[in-house]
Amino acid sequence: MVLSRGNSLCSIEIDVDALSQDENYHYENWQYGSYDDFIKSITARWVRENRFQKTGTIWAWGTPSVNFHHQSYSVYYAVLGMPKEFRKYLDQEVAVLGKYVRARSDYVIPNYANGWSARCHIQDGKAWEVLDTASWKEINV
């Protein structure tokens, strides 16, 4: 997995409290099921369409936040090892979440010690999701 070497990077923040209360984004109504599945499917599609062969990892971390002008719980996503073109694409795709996303949020340094976890890893031209501590599954979109 690709992990930061101490350099901060701009994260994507999703207001998961407010998003989960919006009837348009409930699991039954929203084609992606969850915000994690949304990020994973965007990534898998880009990797496939661009025949990306290098490695990258998308990390996530959840914490209370007031960045949306109210107290809520947010998940921050940090993209490591991927080209700038992917980040631009991801920013455009998450814009569908409207007021529930900040595509350019706080600068973060993902690391295990602070509770970050890998949500999607790109390797061998495929996107993978974590099943458990020892197993990964290819993300098919």
Q: What is the pLDDT of residues 59-108, one digit of tens each?
A: 999 999 999 999 999 999 999 999 999 999 999 999 999 999 998 888 88
Name the pairing type of β-strands 72-80 and 56-65: antiparallel
**Which residues lie below 8 Å from residue 72, measured CB to CB, with a gap of 6+?**
15, 16, 17, 18, 64, 65, 66
Exposure string over 38-68, b if 16+ CB within 10 A, otherwise e? bbbbbbbebbeeeebeeebbbbbbeeebeeb
Chain segment 3-44, per-residue pLDDT in tens: 556 678 899 999 988 888 887 776 556 666 688 889 999 999
Domain regions of the chain by residue span: 9-138
| The two structure tokens encoding residue 80 | 């490591």
